[in-house]
Amino acid sequence: MANVSTNDLKNGMILNLSEGLMSVVEFQHFKPGKGGAFVRTKLKNFRSGAVIERTFRADEKVDQAHIERREMQYLYRDGINFVMMDTETFDQTEVDAAVLGDSVNYIVETSMIEMAFYNGEIVGTELPASVELNIAQTEPGVQGDRVSGARKPATLETGLVLQVPLFVGPGERIKVDTRSGEYMSRA
């Protein structure tokens, strides 16, 4: 691990702090008229996504974590574990659903996922901004029911339930925003 000065922080940098692996969301350097300079930061927990604010003295040393990113392909589900394959080495790894978090709502067999590794352990996933999924079940639109902006629940092939417009029917392919979990458009 490399020590880095708080004066050299940048957005997106990953730090290994007592709270865990934290990603720098934003930072500001302050030099008050009286006293020493300090750096205010907003940090996001790399595993849980919780955001905290923390203040450091200027030029304080913190540990920078080296995160390795690898593209992996989801092959199949084995009980509660997801079997992933490294696309470079073709090694298969079982990943617990808890480690994947909300990503399990957006992946289907053969999906490509970028996995983040720290000291050989999977610490997070990164999905594309949107994915295309099939609607497994939803009520068909009723003739004459054309209220603007009206929504109905739909269950996707992954089991995720979200609100879609009335004109979308079962078996259709839709685009879903992975950041918010909302319907974007027909695919």
- How far apart CA 104 and CA 40 sit, in angstroms, is 34
Note whether 107 and 148 are same-domain residues: no
Find tokens 């949107």 and name the residue: 130
Q: Residue 140 maps to which CATH number?
A: 2.40.50.140
**CATH number for the domain including 28?**
2.30.30.30
Query: Are 150 and 181 found together in one domain?
Result: yes
Round to whole Å and give the CA distance between 72 and 92. 9
Looking at the fold, whether 51 and 72 belong to one and the same domain comes out as no
Same domain assignment for residues 102 and 135: no
Residues 115 and 141 placed together within one structural domain of the fold: no
- Confidence band of 1 (pLDDT split at 50, 70, 90): low
75 pLDDT exceeds 90? yes
Question: Looking at residue 85, what is its pLDDT?
Answer: 93
Query: 93 and 134: one domain?
Result: no
Q: Is the pLDDT of residue 148 over 70?
A: no
Q: Closest by alpha carbon to 178, among 121, 111, 118, 123?
A: 111
Residue 146's pLDDT band (boundaries 50, 70, 90)? low
- Looking at the fold, whether 161 and 176 belong to one and the same domain comes out as yes
Domain boundary among 107, 126, 145: 126
Which of residues 20, 45, 64 is at a domain's end?
A: 64
Are 135 and 179 in a shared domain?
A: yes
Q: How far is CA 106 from CA 64, 157, 179, in A?
A: 31, 9, 10
Beta strand pairing call for 14-17 and 20-30: antiparallel
Q: Which helix (H) or strand (E) holds 99?
A: helix 97-100
**Cβ–Cβ under 8 Å, residues 61 and 49:** no
Q: What is the pLDDT of residues 83-133, one digit of tens each?
A: 999 989 999 988 888 888 888 888 888 888 888 888 888 888 888 888 899
Statement to judge: residues 117 and 91 lie in one domain: yes
Domain that residue 154 falls in: 130-186
Rg (Cα) of the chain, in Å, rounded? 21
Judgement on whether residues 27 and 45 belong to the same structural domain of the protein = yes
Name the domain count of the chain.
Answer: 3
Residue ending a domain, choose from 126, 144, 176: 126
Lowest mean pLDDT among 88-92, 165-169, 175-179: 165-169
Residue 175's pLDDT band, with cuts at 50, 70 and 90, is: very high
What pLDDT, on a 0 to 100 scale, did the predictor assign at position 42? Answer: 93
**pTM for the predicted model, two decimal places:** 0.70
Residues 78 and 119 grouped into a single domain? yes
User: Which residues, including other chains, have CB under 8 Å from residue 23's CB and lie 6 or more apart?
Assistant: 12, 13, 14, 15, 43, 44, 45, 46
Region 8-17 average pLDDT: 88
- Rounded to whole angstroms, how far apart are CA atoms 161 and 176? 11
Candidates 184, 128, 182; CA nearest to 160 is: 182
Confidence of residue 73 (pLDDT cuts 50, 70, 90): very high
pLDDT of residue 53: 92
> Do residue 89 and residue 136 come from a single domain?
no
